[in-house]
A and B are shown apart, each in its own frame.
Chain A
């Protein structure tokens, strides 16, 4: 369960303060599938960085499983990211010189998982996103965009996080492969009970979620069931 209370984020550029987030508050329960929607510059990326513990807010509180992580140190945030959050990015961010399997294993390296279990866990995660076993030894330039993004989802999944944060996961994909990726998220939500937060500016994409939070100019304008 996560909750943000009156979160603000201010960036200083010279003498001008830029308020990326103003008093944003909401609560997301375990197992929800939420889309955060907004045009570019609306503050949704900032919101995602804070929810993903990549950044801390200027003001307000962020409770993740009852703990206020807004005041956590850099290392403590890294631990939260490692254990509780999986990231999926628009630009995939796979390591180009590593195989699919090794890319998925990477979070387990930082989690210091037992070496014998790493491959097993990575294969399970790749199976969960529906990637064919024949591709496990491939490099990312031998895969299609949809396959790459599913590898990235498997990577986000491998350490068994409660929360998966996806930042424009279909932004670089065509509609058809984007659809496959979104179906993968739906499946993870319904079958494995993962909390999924999808950041997007497209209505079609947001339509897959069961709750939509709209952001505009750093403020939450609507929060509704889909």
Chain B
């Protein structure tokens, strides 16, 4: 049997029962479509989480008080609960670790903030002049905290854009206005640029005040809650992290690194952890979608088995006029593969559409990777072969005499 004839036979038999072929194809369409859509959404989520981690700064090492908890992600509840890091620690890091490009200690806490009758509860960050450089923050209007503010314990505040909107309204010129934090008046000197991103560590919903002011008037103590250290490049991060640890152990007079009263967190560790989380999430989504693909495959098998039974007599006739086992096998296998490939093509388009819709609705920036499209085609062809194999073999193995007698 020539290949062109196999295709023609496939076309005839699939178009002979359009409704059934269509429904079977639909099963594959849903399976492949959801795999494509889910993987693209998962990868989109991964991308957006990574970019939101990158937005907190580059080549960052964060030193926080509290016990080491081994590798992995730190539970941030420990932050600030222990009071072991001081301004002097930050100064020592800045002085002794020469590979550190900038050091920005901060003291943060949540306080009630009011302004002209509006009030909000937000994060107040006592920061130094080095903070914007380390944490990738830019001023949109006015200026950030200056060294002079630090020295003179000025009661000035820089608002994050979200906080500005909450307290004054969107797009209002706020420089020179006053806000009250714990009853104390602060003069607004600037607004930071929006960094986008919501929820996960949003840096738009914050108020920055001089670190010294925060220590004196809000916390009443000299400790800091985080020291952000920016390494000069990505390669030196691990070395700097180790140097900081060694330095602080000496300063805190701790001999056993296991019992350190602070912990250091490397930004690349956060990225790695977040990636592994989103990867698990992607795999989970893909697995759920994969199950629907499997169900679609079983649909193919079901249809092919029905077809073989229905066409038993025809198979008998084909054998009587000279069709070999191979010819019959090929014919039915091609039918199954054709069904899955058609379903695969439509499914890829559908998945693409869904991920496009998710992107245009502004939910997550998704991306359909060529590799997932290729994979989808491979998988759909494989499903055709796997689930078409048994029915085709059954058809091919039919005894022509019995097949011809079949009613």
Contacts and interface: CB of A to CB of B under 8 A. Distances in A.
Interface string A20-62: 0000000000000000000000000000010010110000000
B400 A54 contact: yes
A18 interface: no
Interface string A100-112: 0000001101111
Q: Which of B9, B323, B326 gathers the greatest number of chain A CB atoms within 10 Å?
A: B323
B288 interface: no
A74 interface: yes
A55 B321 contact: no
B311 to A, nearest CB: 9
A78 interface: yes
B370 to A, nearest CB: 37
A54 B321 contact: no
Contacts of B317: 89, 93, 95
Contact of B5 (A74, A81, A89, A109): A109
B2 A112 contact: yes
A107 B319 CA distance: 10
B318 A54 contact: no
Contact of A97 (B16, B319, B401): B16
A68 interface: no
Contacts, number: 63
Interface in B303-341: 313-314, 316-327
Interface in A67-112: 74-75, 78-79, 81-83, 86-87, 89, 93, 95, 97-98, 106-107, 109-112
Interface residues of B, number: 24
A214 interface: no
Nearest to B15: A97
A78 B401 contact: no
Interface of B is mostly: helix
B111 interface: no
B1 interface: yes
B320 A98 contact: no
B243 to A, nearest CB: 77
Contacts of A82: 321-322
B165 to A, nearest CB: 68
B227 to A, nearest CB: 79
A112 B1 contact: yes
B12 A110 contact: no
Interface in B25-82: none
Given A55-B401, A109-B1, A112-B2, A79 B322 contact: yes
Nearest 7 interchain pairs by C-beta: A82-B322, A110-B322, A107-B321, A78-B324, A93-B317, A109-B5, A97-B16
Given A110-B323, A112-B2, 14 more contacts: A54-B401, A74-B324, A75-B325, A75-B326, A79-B322, A81-B321, A82-B322, A83-B322, A93-B313, A93-B314, A97-B12, A109-B9, A110-B327, A111-B322
29 contacts: A74-B325, A78-B319, A78-B322, A78-B324, A81-B319, A81-B321, A82-B322, A87-B320, A89-B404, A93-B313, A93-B316, A93-B317, A93-B404, A95-B314, A106-B321, A107-B321, A109-B2, A109-B5, A110-B1, A110-B318, A110-B321, A110-B322, A110-B323, A110-B327, A111-B322, A112-B5, A115-B4, A159-B321, A159-B322
